[in-house]
């Protein structure tokens, strides 16, 4: 078997690392120098001496409860615990003496007296710190007779009231109180790492037990978000993955990258053979630092789901059932249909959609297919419908399209703005890192129509929540800038040194106009003027200011303008170019950043270089031996328009479900239905496949090599954990399709594709698989100037030279409420489901969210006679659907909210085809709607379900 | 693309550049359209302007002279 194990230092040093002046001490005669504030335990570990421990782990602050780590220190009385004792210069420590050995054995004996001795049949056998420590301290017998215990179901006189059954309410892990040693690691992990505070220790002394929330709660009904931090922290089998209980201890481990959100967590895939046993967050992963969320940690069961299609399929028309065929037949059929279309309708009549869920290498090949084989620029990606305004807005102001920081930066922020993003649901691991910083005292300003969890939840509270009316982002951002400029809070030194003087003068004059004051826009935005002023002052005067934003910023008619406004705000306050500050788009999908970097947009070659530039085209023309079209291609929505018009006839869609994810479902369906050849390359027969003629089975992130680039510009390795179930990885399929159309691509491994990317794209010039393997990951730009990548951008100057301020005039969207549609619908996501749900709906995550619900304010609900849980009809100018209502004050009066994870709801039936002025990013976040009680599903939903079922028929194999 | 949608999209671009200081707005609108609108979209716009350009912002009409006629 291929050697896939990467040698990371995973040694648990017992307590977290510290920074500080060097302190030298002696441990067991060995001299060791560590930073001030380091514990004796960690210092010993640095010297290669492990002190026995149970409650200590270097992912958590020291707690000092187990007493196993006691040591002797010259000149000190007693036996202090080494985890809670900080080092002192000249200290002389003895980790082994008869006295401490005796104490440790005694401690261990007491632990074991209340612990079952069923090691051989225990799920943690071989993976249990209690077992290890019993061995290390030389425990040979337990003198205590059986008395009161927590592990024996029956005592001498019948039932044992101290015994409690397993809590198996969570679908992914089991809590077995019988195995618990009450080290509190789970409770501390829930607090310190995840920040949810779901767990506690109830009772005192011998009665102490881990408890999820209140007495009547189990793990599922508690606040627990199933991030897995407690399971990870547990030293015994008390909190154990169900997959490991079922499958046994994994024998091999491969470091790879999660394929869910744009945080891009590193995981160890732990396996036996090619059977995945569990996914464990990787401590050395620089995006997640050993943390995870319910999706990446547990929701990987879709990879083995019976719905996966493993054979290529074709059909003549979408009314016919699918027919399973060989790869060769499917590819030559697809190639012929595409070539026939081009012959009849011209070069520009076909195109591709690259996948933000696939690797950089796969994305690169799909856009290359359009440019070098189709000979047009009709390539687009799902970033069109999420962060394309980020590309345009940051490109115009800073000179490049990417977040400016790494995630570590948030630990140094003093004031954080979170705008149009809901990190606790959509970017949970980043949210945990943010919450940790907030608990340490940083201030938070939330700009969002909804009362998201960050506004107020356990041990965190936003200093300001600007609950704006959907669609007024630009007015709010401009008003914040108005306060900063007119109250003299701008960082003039930064602006003078780093930004264009003329553009600042224009901008300052513009924002200073009284019509942009908080008072003037209060009626429009719904944000109280004094709150707006206070927020602006907090941001401008609070130290390091960092802005994190999401799709609530971009998915508007003025998405690009708001991004520019955010960039203006950062420059205005000097919050660019150092750790702790910056402008940080939170990317939706795992490889949205990468798919944009790789030239997925129709106007840009890889590295954000416009196709009109002959010198850029020449680089690729020379390498590829073709002439590249100098005209921009069609964007996704333009492709659909052109399809309806009859000039766009064929499309190859890799890993994207536009019928469910894109706005105005009926328009998308009409566009797809008008095409002669729709090729869907995916894991499942997704909604788009209802309109497809060719289905090519995809491979999961576990089945291929490649790289993903996360929201920090971090290029992380994706490693082939198991062989592709359908026989080919996605990059091989694209290559085979290209070759079936006459190309002669001959890549044998994705590393060769990365080499081509590096050779053609300046910001990737230094990137190679060898480099990523050596460093673990690398943030672009990575080139001669930055051989090991760039954690913080724009340090000495902006990519474009001087930062450019851009005037941001608020222009109301044309999507307006009125008598027929008096409410504003805005959309978002939920923790347990991901995007269109194709993956997460095929896991046990459905226990948390089995359907899309419509959040509606109690006042609006009462006006309409709607009560919690009722079926309601949601209608807009575009269409209508039905779903159930959730009456909540999280939304303001006049605003309703839902998610788009379930095809039965098809929430995008109601969204419109209005879009961002610069990029055509759809305006998902503002739709005028009406809500009324309903008896059940709409006619449209029933027709849709019937059509979907009909189009998924597969002809029985002969 | 329906003429209404095209007019709406073009006018949105014009509205942004109308708000920008420094002159040259027509060139900037045309520049944006040349950079981001696929040839058949520009061709449709040019044809529509040729027929009078009903409903288009004056700035879009002014930009017409600076639009690159799509090469085949």
Mean of all residue pLDDT scores within chain A: 94
C-alpha span between A324 and A54 (Å, rounded): 56
The CATH number of the domain covering residues in A22-136: 3.10.20.740
What DSSP letter does each residue of A138-202 carry, written as one string?
A: T-----SPS-S-SS-SEETTEE-TT----B--SSSEEE-GGG-----HHHHIIIIII----EEEE
Are the beta carbons of A918 and B41 separated by less than 8 Å? Answer: no
Are the C-beta atoms of A255 and A717 separated by less than 8 Å? yes
Please say whether the beta carbons of A944 and A915 come within 8 A. Answer: no
Smallest Cα distance from B27 to chain A, Å = 15
Which of A378, A380, A374 is closest to A626 using CA atoms? A374
The whole-angstrom separation of Cα A320 and Cα A690 is 11
Q: Chain A contacts of B13, Cβ < 8 Å? A: 917-918
Encoding tokens for residue A949?
């079922």
Query: In Å, how far is B63's CA from the nearest CA of chain A?
Result: 16
Q: Which chain A positions have a beta carbon within 8 Å of B55's beta carbon?
A: none
Interface residue of A374, A384, A643, A917 to substitute, partner B, most B CBs within 10 Å: A917
ipTM exceeds 0.85, yes or no = yes
Residue A7 reports pLDDT greater than 60: no
* Mean pLDDT of the A901-921 span: 87
Nearest in space to A940 (alpha carbons), one of A917, A907, A915: A907
CA nearest neighbour of A715 among A641, A770, A635: A770
How close, in Å, is residue A458 to chain B by CA atoms? 42
Task: Tell me the HSE value of A775 on the side-chain side, using a 13 A CA sphere.
Answer: 20
Residue B71, pLDDT score: 66
Share of chain A above pLDDT 70, in %: 99
Residue A313 binned pLDDT confidence (cut-offs 50, 70, 90):
very high
Please give the pLDDT value at position A400.
Answer: 86
Neighbours of A11 (CB within 10 A): 12
Per-residue pLDDT tens over the stretch A265-312: 999 999 999 999 999 999 999 999 999 999 999 999 999 999 999 999
Q: State the angle between helix axes of A665-673 and A636-645 in degrees (0 to 180), rounded to the nearest 10.
A: 60
The average pLDDT across A459-474 equals 95
Q: How many CB pairs under 8 A join A and B?
A: 65
First to last CA, chain B: 19
Q: Are strands A853-856 and A880-887 parallel, antiparallel or unpaired?
A: parallel
Rounded to whole angstroms, the Cα distance separating A537 from A525 reads: 19
Q: For residue range A669-717, what is the model confidence (pLDDT) as tens digits?
A: 999 999 999 999 999 999 999 999 999 999 999 999 999 999 999 999 9
Span(s) in chain A for CATH 3.40.50.740: 313-386+591-779
Distance of CA A494 to the CA centre of its chain: 33
Task: Report the pLDDT value the prediction gives residue A8, as an integer from 0 to 100.
Answer: 61
Burial grade of A346 (CB within 10 A; 0-12, 13-18, 19 or more): middle
In B, minimum Cα distance to A641 occurs at B1
ω into A475 cis (within 30 of 0): no
Mean pLDDT over A175-199 rounds to 96
Mean pLDDT of A175-202: 96
For chain B, what is the radius of gyration of the CA atoms?
11
Residue of B8, B35, B71 with shortest CB distance to A632 = B35
What would the pLDDT profile of A129-159 be if each residue is shown by its tens digit?
999 999 999 999 888 876 789 999 987 778 8
pLDDT at A101 over 80: yes
Q: Where in chain A is the domain with CATH 2.40.40.20?
A: 823-951
pLDDT for A5 beyond 50: no
| Largest separation between any pair of C-alpha atoms in chain B | 35
| pLDDT higher than threshold 60 for residue B72 | no
- DSSP of A419-442: ES--HHHHSHHHHHHHHHHHHTT-
Hey, which residues 352-391 in chain A have their CB within 8 Å of chain B? 377-378
Residues of chain A with CATH 3.30.70.20: 154-304
Greater confidence (A908 vs A59) lies with A59
CB contact under 8 A, B35 and A645: no
A-chain CB neighbours of B40 within 8 Å are 348, 642, 647
- DSSP symbols for B34-58: HHHS-HHHHHHHHHHHHTT-TT--H
Tens of pLDDT, residues A471-485: 999 999 999 999 999
Which of B15, B20, B71 is opposite residue A631, by nearest beta carbon? B71
Give the model's pLDDT for residue A958.
Answer: 56
Note the pLDDT of residue A1: 36
Question: What are the tens digits of pLDDT across the range A507-552?
Answer: 999 999 999 999 999 999 999 999 999 999 999 999 999 999 999 9
The CATH number assigned to the domain with range A388-585 reads: 3.40.228.10
Helix A559-572 and helix A388-397: axis angle, to 10°? Answer: 40
Q: Which residue of B has its CA nearest to A346?
A: B72
Where exactly does CATH 3.10.20.740 map onto chain A? 22-136
Domain A823-951 architecture: Beta Barrel (2.40)
User: Which carries the bigger pLDDT value, residue A462 or residue A814?
Assistant: A462
Residue extent(s) of CATH 3.40.228.10 domains in chain A = 388-585
Give the integer Cα–Cα distance in Å for A363 and A664.
26
pLDDT bin (cut points 50, 70, 90) of residue A3 is very low
Please identify, in words, the CATH class of the domain defined by A154-304.
alpha beta
Judge: A632–B15 Cβ closer than 8 Å, yes or no.
Answer: no
How far apart CA A67 and CA A73 sit, in angstroms, is: 15
Locate the chain B residue with the closest alpha carbon to A601: B36
User: A72 pLDDT exceeds 50?
Assistant: yes
> Do residue A632 and residue B13 have CB atoms under 8 angstroms apart?
no
d(CA A535, CA A541): 10
User: Is A634 part of the contact surface with chain B (CB cutoff 8 Å)?
Assistant: yes
Quote the mean pLDDT of chain B.
Answer: 93
Q: What's the pLDDT at A158?
A: 84
CATH of A313-386+591-779, one of 3.40.50.740, 3.90.330.10, 3.75.10.10, 3.40.50.300: 3.40.50.740
Give me A287's structure tokens. 């995006």
pLDDT at A957: 62
Tell me whether residue A592 is exposed, middle or buried, using C-beta atoms within 10 angstroms of its C-beta: 0 to 12, 13 to 18, 19 or more: buried
Q: Which chain A residue has its CA at the smallest distance from B21's CA?
A: A506
Q: Which of the residues A380, A513, A616, A632 would you substitute to probe the B interface, choosing the one with the greatest number of B C-beta atoms within 10 Å?
A: A632
Asked if B58 is an interface residue toward chain A (Cβ–Cβ < 8 A), one would say no
SS3 A569: helix
pLDDT band at A908 (very low <50, low <70, confident <90, very high): confident
- pLDDT tens for residues A744-780? 999 999 999 999 999 999 999 999 999 999 999 999 9
- Separation in Å, CA A598 to CA A365, A371, A699, A818: 9, 12, 20, 43
B38, A632: Cβ pair inside 8 Å?
A: yes
Neighbours of A714 (CB within 10 A): 29
């Amino acid at each position: 078997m291929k050697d896939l194990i990467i040698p990371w230092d995973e040694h648990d040093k017992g307590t977290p690392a510290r920074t500080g002046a060097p302190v030298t001490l002696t441990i067991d005669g060995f001299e060791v120098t560590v930073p001030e504030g380091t514990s004796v335990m960690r210092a010993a570990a640095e010297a290669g001496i492990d002190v026995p421990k149970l409650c200590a782990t270097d992912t958590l602050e020291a707690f000092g409860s187990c007493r196993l780590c006691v040591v002797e220190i010259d000149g000190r009385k007693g036996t202090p615990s080494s985890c809670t004792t900080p080092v002192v210069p000249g200290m002389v420590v003895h980790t082994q003496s008869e006295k401490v050995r005796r104490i440790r054995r005694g401690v261990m004996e007491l632990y074991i007296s209340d612990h079952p001795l069923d090691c051989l049949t225990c799920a943690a056998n071989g993976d249990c710190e209690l077992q290890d420590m019993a061995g290390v301290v030389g425990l040979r017998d337990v003198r205590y007779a059986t008395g009161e215990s927590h592990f024996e179901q029956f005592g001498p006189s019948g039932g044992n009231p101290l015994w409690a059954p397993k809590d198996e309410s969570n679908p992914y892990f089991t809590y077995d109180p019988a195995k618990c040693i009450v080290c509190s690691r789970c409770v501390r992990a829930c607090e310190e790492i995840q920040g949810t505070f779901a767990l506690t220790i109830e009772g005192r002394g011998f009665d102490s037990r881990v408890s999820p929330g209140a007495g009547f709660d189990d793990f599922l009904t508690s606040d627990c978000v199933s991030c897995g931090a407690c399971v990870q922290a547990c030293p015994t089998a008390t909190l154990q993955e169900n997959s490991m209980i079922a499958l046994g201890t994994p024998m091999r481990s491969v470091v790879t990258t999660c394929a869910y959100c744009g945080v891009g967590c590193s995981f160890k895939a732990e396996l036996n053979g090619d059977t995945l046993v569990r996914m464990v967050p990787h401590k050395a992963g620089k995006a997640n630092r050993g943390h995870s969320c319910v999706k990446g940690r547990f929701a990987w069961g879709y990879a083995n789901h019976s719905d996966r299609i493993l054979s290529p399929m074709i059909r003549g028309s979408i009314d016919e059932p699918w027919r399973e065929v060989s790869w060769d037949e499917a590819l030559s059929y697809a190639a012929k249909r595409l070539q026939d279309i081009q012959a009849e309708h011209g070069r520009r009549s076909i195109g591709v959609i690259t996948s933000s869920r696939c690797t950089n290498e796969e994305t690169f090949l799909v856009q290359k297919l359009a440019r070098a084989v189709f000979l047009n620029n009709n390539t687009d990606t799902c970033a069109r419908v999420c962060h394309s305004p980020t590309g345009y807005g940051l490109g115009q102001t800073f000179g490049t399209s990417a977040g400016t920081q790494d995630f570590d930066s948030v630990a140094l922020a003093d004031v954080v703005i979170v705008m149009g993003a809901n990190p606790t649901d959509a970017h949970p691991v980043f949210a945990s890192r943010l919450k940790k910083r907030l608990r340490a005292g940083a201030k938070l300003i939330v700009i969002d129509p909804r009362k998201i969890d960050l506004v107020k939840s356990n041990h965190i509270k936003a200093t300001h929540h600007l609950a704006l009316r959907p669609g007024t982002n630009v007015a709010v951002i401009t008003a914040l800038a108005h306060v900063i400029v007119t109250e003299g809070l701008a960082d003039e030194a930064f602006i003078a040194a780093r930004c264009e003087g003329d553009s600042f003068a224009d901008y300052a004059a513009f924002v200073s106009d009284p019509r942009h004051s908080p008072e003037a826009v209060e009626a429009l935005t719904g944000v109280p003027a004094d709150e707006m002023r206070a927020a602006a002052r907090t941001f401008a005067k609070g130290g390091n200011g960092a802005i994190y934003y999401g799709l609530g910023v971009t998915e508007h008619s003025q998405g690009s303008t708001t991004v520019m406004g955010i960039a203006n705000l950062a420059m205005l306050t000097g919050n660019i170019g150092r750790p702790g500050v910056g402008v940080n788009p939170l990317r939706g999908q795992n490889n949205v950043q990468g798919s944009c970097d790789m030239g997925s947009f129709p106007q840009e070659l890889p590295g954000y270089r416009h196709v009109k530039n002959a010198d850029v085209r020449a680089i690729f023309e020379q390498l590829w031996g073709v002439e590249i079209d100098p005209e921009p291609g069609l964007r996704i929505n333009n492709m659909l328009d052109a399809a309806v018009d009859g000039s766009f006839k064929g499309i190859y869609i890799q890993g994207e479900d536009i019928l469910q994810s894109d706005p105005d479902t009926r328009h998308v369906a009409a566009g797809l239905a008008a095409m002669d050849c729709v090729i869907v390359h995916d894991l499942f027969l997704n909604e788009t496949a209802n309109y497809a003629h060719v289905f090519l089975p995809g491979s999961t992130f576990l089945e291929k090599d490649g790289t993903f680039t996360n929201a920090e510009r971090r290029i992380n390795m994706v490693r082939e954990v198991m062989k592709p179930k359908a026989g080919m990885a996605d990059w091989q399929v694209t290559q085979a399709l290209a070759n079936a159309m006459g190309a002669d691509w001959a890549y044998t491994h994705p590393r060769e594709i990365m080499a081509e990317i590096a050779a053609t794209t300046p910001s990737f010039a230094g990137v190679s698989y060898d480099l990523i393997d050596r460093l673990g990951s690398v943030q672009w730009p990575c080139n001669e100037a930055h051989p090991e990548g760039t954690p913080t951008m724009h340090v000495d100057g902006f990519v474009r030279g001087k930062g450019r301020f851009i005037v941001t005039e608020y222009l109301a969207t044309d999507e307006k409420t009125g008598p027929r549609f008096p409410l504003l619908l805005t959309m978002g996501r939920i923790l347990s489901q991901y995007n269109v749900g194709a993956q997460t709906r095929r896991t046990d995550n459905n226990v948390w969210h089995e359907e899309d619900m419509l959040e509606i304010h109690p006042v609006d609900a009462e006006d309409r006679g709607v009560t919690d849980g009722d079926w309601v009809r949601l209608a807009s100018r575009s269409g209508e659907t039905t779903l159930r209502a959730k009456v909540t004050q999280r939304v303001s009066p006049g605003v309703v909210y839902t998610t788009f994870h379930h095809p039965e709801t098809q929430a995008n039936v109601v969204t419109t085809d209005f879009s961002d002025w610069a990029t055509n990013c759809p305006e998902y976040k503002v739709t005028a709607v009406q809500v009324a009680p309903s008896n059940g599903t709409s006619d449209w939903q029933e027709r849709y379900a019937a059509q979907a079922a009909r189009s998924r028929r597969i002809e029985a194999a002969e | 693309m329906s003429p209404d949608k095209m007019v709406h999209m073009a006018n949105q671009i014009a509205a942004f550049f109308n708000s920008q200081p420094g002159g040259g707005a027509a060139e900037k609108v045309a520049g944006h359209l040349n950079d981001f609108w696929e040839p058949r979209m520009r061709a449709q716009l040019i044809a529509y302007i040729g027929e009078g350009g009903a409903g288009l912002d004056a700035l879009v009409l002014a930009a017409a002279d600076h639009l690159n006629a799509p090469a085949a």
